[in-house]
Structure 1
């Protein structure tokens, strides 16, 4: 476990309707784990993505903002026009902009590197868009957790939807190595595949009620996903063969991150997942750790020194691991041994 964390102090500014820009008051430290704290309490950062020029972009679910962290540590926040839109996933789009889902706002958002936001309403009410990824066709594909559909939006804003037969509460989605889109069914215990033409296949998971969440294409040509209720990481090949890797549970009777009666006793709740060139990186939302899993199944863990509730995760081109810390209200960074950043 890492006991010391590099904490980067930010110069407070008065907030207004304009983007909020903050800068580090001192040089970034080269420790294994660092925290970039957000200026507004309880913003609940949810998801992270690597943008153009090595920038890190993230959603603030309760703060209703999109954040941008520059390589030099400058932090900018952009308010979302729709109030209480609950931004969820964020990805770099094929058009050089960042795209994000607005779960409660029932919209897909687009933000340029300069911070200009455009919103596109989802046609079906109460669709609750959730996961998001760039497809092989130059469009963005997303899950509609409230209506059990998969959505597609072009860079020009044209939207279409595809119904699912078995999947309940589609959650994460990613582009697979086979050129198809792969997604999880949180309440149906399934992983699904949809072709760019809209043909769907759905695969049941071996562990009942495992609550599959986020999914990513791995370095081995398979798809990897988190199983929050099973404390496991799953692997599915493009022909539908599933393998599961179980995490060790937390000690019985452990307290939660804030010292109150444990909401997460006995579970680590693997949540976000990202791929590097040689491994899978997973956040333990309740365990307060990162897991690193090799394609061969070798597992190691990185303690976060008390940082709370890691959620979404991304790996930048230099191998640094970035993750949203919902209850520590910041963005974390881990530099694996041998990383360049």
Structure 2
């Protein structure tokens, strides 16, 4: 297929998330290396115009494959063509994507950094744009963007929580929230209490003092409620951890029993193998492993004789 804008867009239409698809399209693009500059421009426009976050991710994977493979072959045409566009394109793919897609984009960018795929200034520009997007939406790299994590570029590996840990993760998040919420009222209540019982403090009139004491008690109770909420969340977390620990201990005991049983079977089979090998060396037929293993040959079944009975004589 000759290279032109139409054929390039047709190739992009056939692109999907599988590694085979990405590699196939990348090979076609690299074959038309003399059109590297146009390829980069058309690729960038296609990514910017796409409404799908997954589609943008696939296009980013494609650029990654083209640049890395051509660079490995000593051809810098695509690296040079993509460098002026890669930061804006990556930011476009990252912006508005869900945490799973953002985590995958972060891993691609991390691979670029580790392998020095792009010049340092280009790499820094890419990371700066992603950091600014995270900051704008109030998320951290670890929370919203997936952070600099390892993993396959084409596989799942989204950095998500294992199903067995989802409840633990939610409880931990609730605990962190409750613990944070309790710090301010506790600090304020203790400071107010310390100020109230200070011997050097001026004692107001009885009505004023009573009102202040009632206010202090109210603050102390509010702080206590906040601490109780944190305690309840921590108890729930410990309960979930203990259940998870108990379940894994139970499974470990079962696996240990299974391992011992398999070990016994292995030892038994190895003993039989040694007997068979010894019998081969001695030229003696080995005993059977299964069936009738007492060494006594079973009785032969009754069979019909070969001589037919004499015919009946008519009287």
Fold conserved between structures, TM > 0.5: no
Greater length-normalized contact order (CA 8 Å, ≥ 6 residues apart): 1
Larger radius of gyration, structure 1 or 2? 2
Larger proportion of helix: 2
> TM-score w.r.t. structure 2 length?
0.21
Larger proportion of strand: 1
